[in-house]
């Protein structure tokens, strides 16, 4: 099992490129080894040097994520205007006027992952608008999101000689969420790629049950979901390990804010703050976490945590250690 911790934040200087928490690539390697990790899972959110990205400690790359792609993919202009305020804003956000914009963006990321020789990439199969992040009243069904995602994924992978594992990750919105085993099977059957697999995010799975209040209950719940999905456990090749017990907050905040900005980018940034209160990425410390990892036996395990400092990251990794 390859163990990593996630990382997305870094700073750019004129002289060199480096992570905020670390002084050098050697510092990252030493830190990872000290905390039982083989490297990092990286999400690229800003330009960074090619020499850094080719470093051997980068085991996986988390691809970009469009929280809502369905209306753009299907060409539903009325819904795009409702979400973004205008077609001009929508097309600016997606970088084009049709589905080729999404394909081209992901193609660049996949080709880059191939050049860097990573072991796996992560892709979200999900759909939610800003309003739905609050109301949980969705436009599209699991079936519709999964079928559209399969079309997108196959257009990206069919006929290309990629060798990395393509891991599809669960969220708590329509799409892949592990709530309906037949939907997980539908996704796996619909994707042609030979090296396909699933990425189980334990915190995202906890977010599907707002009644959870303790990690002990969360561990039990995860096992119940795995019981229902027993047949596909061998295809859970990766795991994002973390905890999220935000049910009380979600139940209180299931209403659209009255002070929403009319500017899409501002509204989106405000919603991200709301999402991070739901998706907490805290250490999963209950003893049941080890049994869950042993049961799934993933090829890749990522400690996907949100931290504010190197010291906090070190503490969280210690708390969530896996044998």
| 3-state DSSP assignment of residue 258 | coil
pLDDT above 50 for 16: no
Residue whose token pair is 């003893």 = 287
Higher per-residue confidence, 14 vs 274: 274
Q: Rounded to the nearest 10 degrees, how much is the dihedral formed by the CA atoms of 259, 91, 134, 67?
A: -140
Contact status, residue 17 vs residue 315, Cβ threshold 8 Å: no
pLDDT above 50 for 119: yes
Contact status, residue 63 vs residue 69, Cβ threshold 8 Å: no
| 3-state DSSP assignment of residue 164 | coil
Token duo for residue 165: 């594992």
Pick from 12-16, 127-131, 267-271, 274-278: least confident: 12-16
pLDDT above 80 for 259: no
Q: Rounded to the nearest 10 degrees, how much is the dihedral formed by the CA atoms of 143, 166, 278, 289?
A: 110
Q: What pTM was computed for the model? A: 0.95
| 3-state DSSP assignment of residue 18 | strand
Confidence of residue 256 (pLDDT cuts 50, 70, 90): confident
Contact status, residue 296 vs residue 233, Cβ threshold 8 Å: yes
Confidence of residue 148 (pLDDT cuts 50, 70, 90): very high
Q: In which element (H, E) is residue 253 found?
A: none
pLDDT above 70 for 15: no
Mind listing the pLDDT tens digit for each residue in 167-200?
Answer: 999 999 999 999 999 999 999 999 999 999 999 9
Q: What percentage of the chain reaches a pLDDT higher than 90? A: 84
- Measured distance CA(37)–CA(103) in Å, rounded: 33
Q: What is the DSSP string of 40-78?
A: EEE---S---HHHHT-TTEEEEEPP--S--HHHHHT-HH
Mind listing the pLDDT tens digit for each residue in 25-58?
Answer: 899 999 999 999 999 999 887 777 788 888 999 9
What Cα–Cα distance (Å) separates residue 123 from each residue in 134, 142, 168?
23, 16, 5
Confidence of residue 262 (pLDDT cuts 50, 70, 90): confident
Q: Is the dihedral of CA 14, 93, 266, 74 positive or negative?
A: negative
pLDDT of residue 24: 86
Q: Nearest 5°: phi and psi at 11?
A: -115, 150
pLDDT of residue 19: 59
User: Structural domains in the chain?
Assistant: 57-307 (3.20.20)
Contact status, residue 305 vs residue 282, Cβ threshold 8 Å: yes
From the number of C-beta atoms within 10 Å of its C-beta (0-12, 13-18, 19+), residue 91 rates as: middle
């Amino acid at each position: 099992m390859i163990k990593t911790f996630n990382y997305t934040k870094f700073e750019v200087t004129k002289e060199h490129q480096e992570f905020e928490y670390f002084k050098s690539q050697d510092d990252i390697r030493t830190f990872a080894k000290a905390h039982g990790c083989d490297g990092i899972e990286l999400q690229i959110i800003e330009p960074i040097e090619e020499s850094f990205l080719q470093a051997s400690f980068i085991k996986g790359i988390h691809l970009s994520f469009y929280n809502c792609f369905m209306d753009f993919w299907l060409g539903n202009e009325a819904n795009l205007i409702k979400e973004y305020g205008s077609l001009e804003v929508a097309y600016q956000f997606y970088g084009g006027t049709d589905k080729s914009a999404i394909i081209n963006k992901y193609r660049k990321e996949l080709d880059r992952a191939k050049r860097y020789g990573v072991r796996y990439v992560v892709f979200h199969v999900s759909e939610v608008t800003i309003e739905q992040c609050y109301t949980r009243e969705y436009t599209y069904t699991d079936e519709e999101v999964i079928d559209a995602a399969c079309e997108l994924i196959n257009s990206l992978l069919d006929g290309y000689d990629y060798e990395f594992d393509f891991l599809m990750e669960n969220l708590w919105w329509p799409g892949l969420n592990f709530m309906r085993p037949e939907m997980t099977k539908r996704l796996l059957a619909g994707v042609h790629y030979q090296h396909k697999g699933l990425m189980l995010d334990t915190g995202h799975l906890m977010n599907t049950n707002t009644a959870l209040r303790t990690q002990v209950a969360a561990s039990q719940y995860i096992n119940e979901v795995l019981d229902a999905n027993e047949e596909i456990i061998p295809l859970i090749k990766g795991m994002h390990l973390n905890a999220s017990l935000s049910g009380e907050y979600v139940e209180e905040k299931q209403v659209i804010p009255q002070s929403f900005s009319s500017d899409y980018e501002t509204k989106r940034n405000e919603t991200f703050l709301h999402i991070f209160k739901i998706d907490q990425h805290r250490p999963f410390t209950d003893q049941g976490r080890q049994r869950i990892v042993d049961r799934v036996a993933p090829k890749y395990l990522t400690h996907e945590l949100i931290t504010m400092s190197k010291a906090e990251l070190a503490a969280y990794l210690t708390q969530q250690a896996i044998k």
